Amino acid sequence: MIGQTRPRDFSDPRIPNRDECVLRYLLDRWAHERPDKTHVVFADGEEWSFAKMREKVRAKAAGLKELGVRQGEHVAVWLPNGPDALIAFYAINYIGAVFVPFNTAYRGGLLAHVIANSGARFLLVHPDLISRLNEIELAGLERLVVTTNLEVVAPPLEVNRFDDLVGDPDEEIELERPIDPWDIQSIIYTSGTTGPSKGVLSSYLHMFSNAGPESWPMVGEDDRYMCVAPIFHIGGMGPPFVMLARGASVAMIDNFSTAEFWKVAKATQSTMVFLLGVMATFLLKAPPGPNDRDHTVKKAFMVPLTGDAPAFTERFGVDIYTIFNMTEISSPIVSEANPTKIGTCGTVRDGVEVRLVDANDCEVPTGEIGEMLVRTDRPWAMNSGYNANPEATAKAWRNGWFHTGDAFRRDGDGYFYFVDRVKDAIRRRGENISSFEVEADVCRHPCVREAAAIAVPSEFSEDEVMVIVAPVPGTQIDCVELAEFLIETMPYFMVPRYVRILDELPKTPSAKVMKAELRSEGITQDTWDREAAGIRVRRESFSA
């Protein structure tokens, strides 16, 4: 563990020192020990060393404190990726306040819900988003802090300019008490695929355990993590903290672009990336070129791990890792480099217990499917519940374990395989079908960019399988050809009966496919029916 030889802050050896896991003390430490080392690089090439980062953060923290932000209070941040968002994140935590980012796609009822749930008095906001506030109830908001300009039509709140909140970085910023590892650092809102978004309460120790040196040993102090996820998502808020915990650097990029990805990685000298969902598929399905290996990336997390992983490594020269994680937990399942068991999420890391259970929380045998339950040896190493939502907290944490809502199976070697969200499972003709596995097979077709598999009613009983697909740009999906491809590659009972083609799949503000919306639409007029087209799949028969 980092700093293991220094005097301990706490008697419990499972709790790291404050300057190992609390943002304020980490930043102070590295600014003292590594002042000239780069901590952050932006897409335009601007770089901030640890010393420069600390100076900027302390100046902004002093300004926020003078404005009235108190230690422990929730501060809402509604900004796109960039220097302002990162400075806001660090400065809020530097004074011991709680960073509460909102998705920049929020509006209407969803925006009103998170504003009310957050309990925030202050909202840091980009001026282009302010008009949406005029449409909703503002709950307890008292003041807007606006970036870039004040020439906006704002609701009747006090307004300040973010650039004007600057104090003396050399003056001591006093705290009511030291910031402890179990204090809440952030509230990150879930995607809301099944209902109103829930605000996940994350302590500093939760964030440290999520991807710290013990959880991700493959990431070192000499790495640079290229972050392409938005800062309101755990995938965008986590990387700066992951690298801060190591005294390392992060490249903060505005968004993911297939065409620009490798060029940006090289320009920022990034050594590791996180490829979530279809990102790896997009990169692999882009036309090959002579510069496929002309970059600095050495390691990539691919989530989920698909059968294309070996081809990705071969083409781009990158070692692949995979994990299972979610905002509420702390990377309980992590793989070795280039795992050979395609489809796995890895094995249980040290310090974590994992069970697969049935509907009554009774453990299922090896090889059978069950919901994943998680708990950790270290206190505060997972979420501290859902903000202002005791019912959801109690439901998720029942029987002393966190219930992920995800169905898995475990093989005899201890490797875990994601099967489905429990709510997304499909049952057809007596067979349980993983929508995740259907989607993975469908996406192997060269013309399919992304896919969503859902259950629709059968005229007989149980479900039929339907897939909604989006094409690779510049191609067209032929439903007959796709069906014939799948008949050759999938078990007979998994082959979709229905296919619907859309230019883009509907997504939540956190870029997750809105399967609930697709299920509610069901079989539409533009849906192709394999059986109506005369293409039937027969049960395989075997003779002795």
Q: Name, in order, each residue with C-beta under 8 angstroms of 481's C-beta and a sequence gap of 6 or more.
A: none
pLDDT (0 to 100) of residue 429:
67
Residue 539 falls inside a structural domain? no
Q: Which residue has the tokens 């925006």?
A: 111
Residue 114 falls inside a structural domain? yes
pLDDT (0 to 100) of residue 426:
84
Residue ending a domain, choose from 180, 203, 226: 203
Residue 248 falls inside a structural domain? no
CA distance 149 to 164: 11
Q: Each residue of 507-540: b (16+ CB within 10 Å) or e?
A: ebbbbebbbbebeeeeeeeebbebeeeeeebeee
Residue ending a domain, choose from 145, 174, 203: 203
Cβ atoms of 58 and 71 within 8 Å: the answer is no
Q: Which domain holds residue 491?
A: 445-529
Give the other-Cβ count within 10 Å of 35's Cβ. Answer: 13
CA distance to 27, 135, 187, per residue, from 113 (Å): 33, 13, 14
CA distance to 44, 258, 283, 368, per residue, from 278 (Å): 26, 11, 9, 27
Task: For CA atoms 401, 402, 407, 412, give the dihedral sign.
Answer: negative
Residue 375 falls inside a structural domain? no
| CA-closest candidate to residue 290, choices 316, 269, 318, 314 | 316
pLDDT (0 to 100) of residue 544:
32
Residue 510 falls inside a structural domain? yes
3-state secondary structure of 162: helix
CA distance to 112, 141, 200, 512, per residue, from 119 (Å): 11, 8, 14, 26
3-state secondary structure of 345: strand
CA distance 30 to 521: 53
Cβ atoms of 441 and 490 within 8 Å: the answer is yes
Q: Name, in order, each residue with C-beta under 8 angstroms of 151's C-beta and a sequence gap of 6 or more.
A: 127
In the chain, which residues have pLDDT < 50? 1-3, 541-544
Residue 12 falls inside a structural domain? no
- Check residue 216 and report its DSSP letter: -
Residue 480 falls inside a structural domain? yes
Domains contained in the chain, number = 2
Cβ atoms of 224 and 271 within 8 Å: the answer is yes
CA distance to 30, 442, 466, 498, 505, per residue, from 469 (Å): 47, 8, 10, 11, 7
CATH code, domain carrying 106? 3.40.50.980
CATH code, domain carrying 459? 3.30.300.30
pLDDT (0 to 100) of residue 540:
52
Residue ending a domain, choose from 142, 170, 203: 203
User: ω before 304 within 30° of 0 (cis)?
Assistant: yes
Query: Given the DSSP bridges, would you call strands 98-101 and 74-78 parallel, antiparallel or unpaired?
Result: parallel
DSSP secondary structure, 34-73, as one string: STTSEEEEETTS-EEEHHHHHHHHHHHHHHHHHHT--TT-
CA distance 390 to 201: 12
Range list of β-strands (E), 361-504: 370-376, 402-410, 416-421, 426-428, 431-433, 448-457, 463-471, 498-501
Alpha helices by DSSP H, listed for 212-327, are: 234-244, 261-267, 279-285, 309-316
Residue 315 falls inside a structural domain? no
Q: What is the pTM of this model?
A: 0.85
Query: Given the DSSP bridges, would you call strands 333-334 and 323-324 parallel, antiparallel or unpaired?
Result: antiparallel
Take residue 505 and report the two structure tokens written for it: 């799949």
